[in-house]
């Protein structure tokens, strides 16, 4: 059949582009939408390089015939933590593939910089070490947090001391040696939400670290509400396919310099292949999060009407995570699923379910766990991209196997 021809306005008519002009007729670039940044950030130089896909640089070291110049660049990094200008030096100082991911994530979170690590826990450890090195070892934190984050703070493994508070108690808990306030919203695993703007105000001059793993920058950007540091377990939604482990902190450049120094000294670097997979994962992040969130909202409504379900937790902000408490034995539900995978972690394209009191939050003392709302009958469901009716059929069948209350 013949093609359809549409009449369109003259694309080069200046009058047709007045909406892109600022005062005095000066052209003003419209800020890119998140979906566009997700696809293009960190890749802007590819066309000039004659490439379409980002390359993977697997080098651990790089040749240099200017040893004096290289020594000066290493000295500058050691003194300030700034990224060395010029060609790369060594894998622990930085990697071009990882740097592309860092650039992209910073753009999505609206920060000056981002520093990637081998895991989310390595990223959190680096933040604590930066503050500890300044003599600021005290942390104020709000439960619940991810179980291993809770344990790292409570056990004082890095020399930190933690005070656990309700959000209303943050300001009163601050001390002269408080180096950090840490929150997670929506929280793992209860999906409790905090007013990040109010929390940031209560922090005063103390940096607020917000774990944004569950929400991702698709649903919220904590720096816009006053957080200085944004933590991600990039293993989850940023990677999105269950095949990469990583962590990243999005922050201002001043804090990033300290993080790079800790990464260099401790060696918690991200492998270049992981950096490549994360950059690729970011390109579909908005689409994945929105599609999975639609499934989750539907399942949350159905679960709320199920006679075997005592309570459903689903955040106002939305998202692809659901927590629900069951009548009867939650382990029967875990044993009863067939399509949904019973496994730790979250944020993959496929749906995962787990029992936090047994796994992700087992390391948190039972009384503390229950006070934070993590009951023994709570299940955490990471909703994926499967057909929602197929997911419901599997959940409904698994719930039918639960023993009575």
Asked if residue 359 lies in contact with residue 379, where contact means CB atoms within 8 angstroms, the answer is: no
Residue with tokens 């001059």, as numbered in its chain: 205
**What is residue 354's three-state secondary structure?**
strand
Q: For the chain, how many helices (H) and strands (E)?
A: 14, 12
Kindly report the backbone phi and psi dihedral angles of residue 377, in degrees, each rounded to the nearest multiple of 5, phi listed first. Answer: -105, 15
Name the nearest CA neighbour of 200 among 140, 127, 255, 125: 140
Please return the burial class of 359, using the count of CB atoms within 10 Å of its CB with bins 0-12, 13-18 and 19+.
Answer: middle
Asked if residue 145 lies in contact with residue 188, where contact means CB atoms within 8 angstroms, the answer is: yes
Both tokens of 379, joined, read: 């299940």
Straight-line distance from the first to the last Cα atom of the chain, in angstroms, rounded to the nearest whole number: 65
Active site members: 92, 146, 211, 236
């Amino acid at each position: 059949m013949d093609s359809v021809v549409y009449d369109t306005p003259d694309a080069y008519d200046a009058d047709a582009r007045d909406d892109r002009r600022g005062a005095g007729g000066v052209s003003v670039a419209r800020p890119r939408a998140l979906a566009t940044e997700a696809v293009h950030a960190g890749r802007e130089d590819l066309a000039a390089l004659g490439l379409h896909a980002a390359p993977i640089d697997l080098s651990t070291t790089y040749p240099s015939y200017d040893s004096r110049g290289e020594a000066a660049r290493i000295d500058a990094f050691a003194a300030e933590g700034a990224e060395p200008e010029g060609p790369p030096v060594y894998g622990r100082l930085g990697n071009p593939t990882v740097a592309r991911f860092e650039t992209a994530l910073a753009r999505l979170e609206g920060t000056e910089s981002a520093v990637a690590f081998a895991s989310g826990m390595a990223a959190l450890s680096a933040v604590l070490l930066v503050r500890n090195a300044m003599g600021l070892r005290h942390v104020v934190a709000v439960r619940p947090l991810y179980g291993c984050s809770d344990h790292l703070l409570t056990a004082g493994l890095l020399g930190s001391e933690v005070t656990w508070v309700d959000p209303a108690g943050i300001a009163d808990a601050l001390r002269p040696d408080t180096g950090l306030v840490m929150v997670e919203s929506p929280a793992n695993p209860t999906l409790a939400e905090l007013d990040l703007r109010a929390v940031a105000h209560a922090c005063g001059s103390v940096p607020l670290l917000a774990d944004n793993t569950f929400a991702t920058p698709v649903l919220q950007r904590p720096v816009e509400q006053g957080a200085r540091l944004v933590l991600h377990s990039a293993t989850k939604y940023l990677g999105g396919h269950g095949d990469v482990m990583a962590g990243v902190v999005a922050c201002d450049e001043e804090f990033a310099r300290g993080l790079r120094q800790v990464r260099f000294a401790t060696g918690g670097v991200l492998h270049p292949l992981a950096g490549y997979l994360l950059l690729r994962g970011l390109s579909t992040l908005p689409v994945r999060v929105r599609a999975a969130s639609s499934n989750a909202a539907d399942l949350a409504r159905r679960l709320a009407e199920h006679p075997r379900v005592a309570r459903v937790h689903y955040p106002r902000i939305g998202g692809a995570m659901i927590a629900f408490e069951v009548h009867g034995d939650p382990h029967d539900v875990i044993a009863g699923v067939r399509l949904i995978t019973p496994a730790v972690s979250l944020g993959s394209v496929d749906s995962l379910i787990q029992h936090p009191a047994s796994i992700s939050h087992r390391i948190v003392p039972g009384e503390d766990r229950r006070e934070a709302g993590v009951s023994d009958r709570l299940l955490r469901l990471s909703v994926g991209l499967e057909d929602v009716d197929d997911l419901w059929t599997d959940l409904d069948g698994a719930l039918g196997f639960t023993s009575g209350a």
